[in-house]
Structure 1
Amino acid sequence: MAYPGYPPQQPYPNPNTMPPYPSQGGYPGGPPPTGFNPMYPSQGVGPYPAYPSAVPGYPPAGAPGYPPAGYPPAGYPPAGYPPAGYPPAGYQQAGYPPPQGYPPTSAPYPGGTPAAEYQQAPVYGGAAPPHAGAAPTARAKQFTPTVRPKQPYGPADEEADAAALRKAMKGFGTDEKAIIAVLANRSNQQRQLIARKFTALYGKDLLKDLKSELGGKLEDVVLACMTPLDQYFAKELNHAISGLGTNEETLIEVLCSLNNVWIHAIKNAYQQLYKKSLESDIKGDTSGCFGRLLISLCQGMRDESPVVDPGRVAADVAALFQAGQKKIGTDESTFNAILSSRSLSHLREVFRQYHQTHGVPFEKVIKSEFSGSIETGLLAIVKCMTDCSTYFAERLHDSMAGAGTKDRALIRIVVSRSECDLGDIKVAFQQKYGKSLESFIEGDCSGDYKRILIALVTA
């Protein structure tokens, strides 16, 4: 309600006096309490202005319109709430709420994502992978990284590492071994802390200094190590679809092996880096059923429930048989819909029951029904859902086997998996090829490039 002439143009000289209240003839019950601002019009109900709630006896019992009829509603709060024993004893000591400063305001992942439990486990897993969306305590298998965060690690450690890197690059020549010793034995997040400390201490950009001091493949590995992982994946995907031609294997490797949290983190990083969506770039560079598979995976909407519904499994087995072996031609959309959206646990049971029911391993079905990039993509999903460690062991072997080395793939897998499951991949590599991953790197690489890869693999 508007009151003519209110609020007044000048404050009352003494807020403790009783100023006239427009249209009400004054404040009921005497002057306003000390400190009450007479310049602020009342928002109260009926004849009572909005006195501070601390004033005894205000609002008076039975004031018209206060509280409104029916409030609080009958039955509120419900019986038994809060439940007995809540919050639990030791609530404050159990690590929750999170300690002050968490998540860090300058986390290496934009917006504080991906969630902490995915920083070391961004994937569907190794030879016996757990449900990707489960909390770490619920995982059926613990991943084996080769690079672990240095513990404890505080500001003094950051300063010491920054000083060691500065010393390695200062003056004539560069001490590459010192740089490798620091960066290969710190987590990605700790490397981001070192970079910030370096700038704070010396007023210089660590990445620019590393670029100016290093060269060749050593520089490529170091810069990969220094890049936040979601940004690194985004850059690798952009490289795969930029320029002439498309590196389908990179697109398949990244999009088929990562869980929903990481897919969304990479998409956000891609948008920030290139001011366009990953999906639009994939659409512009791929086509047909392979392009549709990548677009489906790019949505990051795979079911990640560990619960398996036997009826749904049987329905999917029947649908895949009808779309493939029983049909002249192939219904690619059925394969796409099931393989890109069902959970790890569900697909494992589908593959097992398909083999049991129809006598053909599901990988063989894919090979007989598809060819080219779509075959490679669907096979990658099957392998990542059943034995992700062996899939990456094969990728590493392919990057070094034969003439030449696919350095970009070798660097990407070693760097991105080192904090997750590279230890499991090493075991799978040894079992499949009868030689250690380290021995393959020793025979295929040289110099500081070889040294930093070996350090990441064996750290």
Structure 2
Amino acid sequence: MGPQSARAQGGPSEGQPCHPLRRAPDVGSPSSCGAEATGAAVTSKAQQARKQAGSQPRTSEPGAQRSRFPRPQRGNPTQDPGEMEKPFEDNRTDPHSFVSVFESLIQAKMPFFDHLKDIFSHHRHSDDDTVKVNDKEKPIYYGTVTPYPNFNASDDTAILRRAIESKGVNEDVIIAVLVKRSNEQRQKIKAVYETENGKKLTDNLKAALRGNLENICLALLMTPAHYDAYQLMKATKGLGTDEEVLTEILATRTNQEIQEIKKAFKQEYEKELEEVIKSETSGNYTKILLELLSGGRDESARVDNDLVSKDTKTLLKLCEHGSGFNVSTFIDLMTKRSYPHLRKVLEAFGKQTDVKLPTVLKKELKGDTENCLIDLAKYAWNTPAVFAQKLVKALEKPGTCEKTLNRILVSRSEVDLKKIKEVYWNCQQRSLNDDIEKDTKEHYRKVLLSLCGAF
């Protein structure tokens, strides 16, 4: 998974929102939109106290106008108390360069990406996602779920048992415990629950809950590797393969995570994931997925400018008319190079030619291979923006797509869900929380909103 983008200082002034369709300002000119707010504000003691108590956020008084702008977000929960993370400056000298590469890609595949032209250019910030705290580099945390303070697995086990066995089942308590614990803490709760009760927590929840609430609670109790393995199994099972899910998972996980997914898949389904991919896909698309499954992508944050120049020349040669398109070379480039490196290559490509990369891919390739390579380019440039687009589609289509909501909110809640929410707001001019509240119901709605950090 490529490193996440950092945030720059500032933001639009009150009453002057940054419109998603507005072009980014010229280099050197004042930005009418400003830059994004840093996700580094430290939560106050009062906020922490309310969160630990499980209380809901206070609503504004009747008639009060709600702010249209995202609140400052917390930084790494492991940083020293009171230490503020410093926002990053945008190091790119030409904020328009990438639009020349991706303009046709954005328009050709998904109308939503019309709104992302500025996201893919002006709002693409430094690849460095670390901050100095007491002269030490620490990663910035962009998840919405953090480890629960003063965690005690035995206490949580007793609370869950009472909630499950109570008359009518206390869904609110179950939600409060599961969502306010990190995945690592949930695994400890599962183990203690089975030891102390002689029954599996998942089995008891299956008997107590129903529908979407049951599905997402069970998802929260899986390890990340087992949840991804489960999603891959569903994507390859039955009639029709869900190529979008296959590409999403394999393109956005680290090499170590991919190895853990393969191990979990073999453990749960007694099959090798590679063999399942071979049987359910074909052609160059199979080759791409197998390359991703090999876990051979360079994950260095450092970019070699000489190698960028070499790969840019290779890409230019591939796209020359009449020279023939070597798809194997392009697959190697997109599956082996780091995402920071690919961003530099695509930037340089856009500056040196008027040829549109998506136009070449559409001409030379078809179907799943074309879609996958375009998706890899989008993930390389801005992973949170792609997930935001998926959430918009899930909430705007007739009938909410709960499986997409579950998959993204569960899998990204301890990774980059804060960033995804910011991109969503920038493009929709309304919050992800508001759309979830409008399109979902009851306890299922509360789980989703809690994963988004609303409670």
TM-score of the superposition, structure 1-length normalised? 0.67
The residue number in structure 2 matching 1:229 is 224
Q: Offset of 1:366 from its aligned partner?
A: 4.1
- Specify the alignment match of 2:150 in structure 1: 152
Please state if 1:407 is matched with 2:398: no
Q: Indicate the larger mover: 196-205 or 322-331.
A: 322-331
- Aligned counterparts of 1:247 and 1:372: Cα–Cα separation in 2: 13
**Comparing 273-282 and 311-320, the one that deviates more:** 311-320
Matches within 5 A, 1:249-260: 249-260=244-255
In structure 1, what is the Cα distance between the partners aligned to 2:374 and 2:139? 23
Looking at structure 2, the residues matched to 411 and 332 of structure 1 have their Cα atoms a distance apart, in angstroms, of 34
1:200 matches 2:195: yes
Q: Closer, same or farther in 2 for the Cα pair 1:335/1:132, shift >3 Å?
A: farther
Equivalent residues of 1:324, 1:369 under 8 A apart: no
Distance 1:139 1:252 in 2: 32
Structure showing greater relative contact order (alpha-carbon pairs closer than 8 Å, 6 or more residues apart) = 2
The correspondence of residues 332-343 of structure 1 with structure 2, limited to 5 A, is 332-343=327-338
Q: Give how far 1:320 is off.
A: 1.7
2:418 to 423, 428, 436: 423
Q: How many residues are treated as equivalent by the alignment?
A: 332
Provide closer, same or farther for how the CA distance between residues 368 and 396 of structure 1 changes in structure 2, counting only shifts above 3 A. farther
CA distance in 1, matches of 2:394, 2:247: 15
Cα gap change, 1:368 to 1:407, in 2 (>3 Å): farther
CA gap of 1:325–1:214, structure 2 versus 1, over 3 A, is farther
Q: Give the residue type in structure 2 aligned to 1:146.
A: T
Q: Structure 1 CA distance, aligned partners of 2:142 and 2:129?
A: 15
**1:374 corresponds to which of 357, 366, 369:** 369
- Superposed displacement of residue 199, structure 1: 2.0
Q: Can you list the C-alpha shifts for 1:307-336, whole angstroms capped at 9, x where unaligned?
A: 323332222122222223434653211210
**Residue 208 of structure 2 is aligned to residue 213 of structure 1:** yes
- SS for the counterpart of 2:146 is coil
Is the partner of 2:158 in helix, strand or coil? helix
TM-score normalized by structure 2?
0.68
Output the CA distance in 1 between the equivalents of 2:444 and 2:405. 11
Q: Deviations over 1:366-386 (max 9, x none)?
A: 455544322221122212222
Q: What aligned pairs does 1:242-253 form with structure 2 within 5 A after superposition? A: 242-253=237-248
Contact 1:325–1:365, Cα closer than 8 Å, also in 2: no
Q: Tell me if the contact between 2:319 and 2:357 (Cα under 8 Å) persists in the aligned partners.
A: no
Structure 2's unaligned 5+ residue stretches are 1-75, 77-122
Does structure 2 retain, via aligned residues, the 8 Å contact 1:131–1:139? no
Q: Work out whether residues 131 and 304 of structure 1, in 8 Å CA contact, stay in contact via their aligned partners in 2.
A: no
**For residue 70 of structure 1, what is the aligned residue in structure 2?**
none
What residue identity is the alignment partner of 1:411?
N
Q: Secondary structure at the match of 1:143?
A: coil
Letter in structure 1 aligned against 2:150: P
Q: CA deviation at 1:140?
A: 8.4
Q: Which amino acid aligns with 2:382?
A: D
SS of alignment partner, residue 452 of structure 2: helix
CA distance in 2, matches of 1:363, 1:431: 25
Which letter maps to 2:446? R
Q: Is the 8 A contact 1:168 1:178 kept in 2?
A: yes
C-alpha contact 2:129 2:140 (8 A) present in aligned 1 = no
Match of 1:349 in 2: 344
Q: Does residue 1:241 correspond to 2:236, yes or no?
A: yes
In structure 2, distance between residues paired with 1:352 and 1:181: 45
Query: Which residue of 141, 144, 147 maps to 1:143?
Result: 141
Indicate whether 1:295 and 2:293 are aligned: no
Correspondence 1:90-101 to 2 at 5 A: none
Structure 2 counterpart of 1:145, one-letter code: G
Q: Which segment is superposed worse, 430-439 or 401-410?
A: 401-410
Given the alignment, which residue of 254, 259, 265 partners 1:264? 259
Are 2:129 and 2:139, in contact at CA under 8 Å, matched by a contact in 1? no
How many angstroms does 1:129 deviate by?
Answer: 7.3
Deviation of the 1:172 alpha carbon: 2.6
Q: Pick closer, same or farther for the CA change 1:141–1:195 going to 2, 3 Å.
A: closer
Larger CA Rg, structure 1 vs 2: 1
- Residues 399 and 405, structure 1, Cα contact 8 Å, conserved in 2: yes
Q: 1:291 to 1:352 in 2, by over 3 A?
A: same
SS at match of 1:387: helix
Contact 1:128 1:141 in 2 (8 A): no
Report the identity percentage: 35
